[in-house]
Amino acid sequence: MEDLLKVEHLNKRVGEFCLKDISFSLKPGYIMGLLGVNGAGKTTLIHTILNLYKKDGGGVYVDDMEMEEEERAVKDKIGFVLDENMFEESMSVIRNAKGFGKLYSKFDEELFRIFCKNFGIPLNKTVGSLSTGMKVRFQLAFALSHDAVLFIMDEPAAGLDPLFRKELMRYMQEIVEDGTRSVLFSTHITEDLEKMSDYIVLMRDGAVFLSMPTVDLKERYRIVYGTKEQIETLPFFRVIYKEYGEYGSYAFLESTEGEDYGEYEVKEPLLEDIMYCLEKGGYSYV
Ligand SMILES: Nc1ncnc2c1ncn2[C@@H]1O[C@H](COP(=O)(O)OP(=O)(O)OP(=O)(O)O)[C@@H](O)[C@H]1O
C-alpha cells in the first residue's frame, strides 16, 4: 500500500524555533495522532506540511505529489481544521464556502449545506461571529465537502463541547473506514488518542521523538508499583522515571519481552502516563 502522506527530512526555522529533520509517513485508512507538550512544534509542523510556512529543506508528499511542486493538486486532496481561522471573518459562512470552494475541483455546495444543517451552523452568520467550537464545526463541514482524502487537524477538539467532541471522533472514524482516507490530528487530549489513533508521532523540541503504532507504544513501557524500598531495588528493570509518594511509589520503565515482574503490581501505562514520565525522566534510556 502506498503512503498517502510522506514527510521527509523536513526542516523549518521560525524565529528561534526549528523543526529538525522531521520524517514520518501515513498510509490510507489510518488515524495518526500528533502529541507533544506546549511548544513542541505541532502547529509549526502542521503549517509547514500545509505549505502555510515555506519549508527550509526536505519534502512533503501527498499521494506521491510534492507539495511545493504541485501545490494546487495536493491541496485539492487535503481537508484541514486549524486553530487559526483561514477564512474571511467578515463574510458569511455560505459566502466563504462558495468563495473558497472555487479553489477546489470537487467542492460540493449541496453537501456543505447538509453538513452545516447537521452541525447546526447558521449559513448567514459571519464566520467572525461564530464561537470557537462553531468555527471548528464550520471548518470540518467545509473539509468534508470537497472530496479530500487527507484530513489534517490542529487541536480540533480544543474548543468543542463534549457532545460534539464525541461526534468529531465518530467522523474521524468514518473518514478512515473505507481505507482510502487518512487523518492526522494534534491534540492534548490523550484519552481521544487512546481510543482513536492507530499511530502516534510524539514530538519534542522540534523533532520527532517517537513514531510508532499506538499499541506498540503502549506495549513498550510498564509502570511498576511498590514501596520506596522495592522501587529502589529494581536493578534488572530499565527505569526511566521513579516517583516516591506517601501512599506508594512507582517506576516507569521500558519493558522487555517476557520479563517476569515477580510480586510487583504492574500496569500498562496510559498515553498520559507515557508523556508525563518521559518528560519528567528527561527522555533518557530511549
Ligand atoms: N511565528 C513565529 N515566530 C516565532 N516563533 C514562533 C512562531 N510560531 C511559533 N513559534 C515558536 O515555535 C515553538 C513551537 O510552537 P508551536 O505552536 O508549533 O508548538 P505546539 O506544539 O503547537 O504548542 P501548543 O501545544 O502550545 O499549541 C514555540 O516556542 C513558539 O513560540
Q: Is 36 in the pocket of ligand 1 (CB under 6 A)?
A: yes
Pocket test for ligand 1, best of 10, 37, 43 (most atoms within 8 A of CB): 43
Pick the CATH number of 5-213 from 3.40.50.300, 3.40.1710.10, 2.10.109.10, 3.30.70.2740: 3.40.50.300
At 128 the pLDDT is: 94
Position in ligand 1 atom list of the atom nearest CA 186: 22
CA of 14 to the centre of ligand 1 (A): 8
Q: Choose among 102, 105, 27: nearest CA to 73.
A: 105
- Between 245 and 178, name the one with better pLDDT: 178
Residue with the smallest CA separation from ligand 1 atom 26 is: 38
pTM of the predicted protein model: 0.92
Give dist(CA 89, CA 246) in Å, integer: 53
For residue 280, pLDDT over 60 is answered with: yes
Q: What is the ipTM of this complex?
A: 0.95
User: Domain boundaries in the chain?
Assistant: 5-213, 217-280
At 141 the pLDDT is: 96
Q: What is the 3-state secondary structure (H, E, C) of 8-50?
A: EEEEEEECCEEEEEEEEEECCCCEEEEECCCCCCHHHHHHHHC
Length of the chain: 286
Q: Choose among 165, 5, 25: nearest CA to 81.
A: 165
Q: Please state the rounded mean pLDDT for residues 248-255.
A: 89
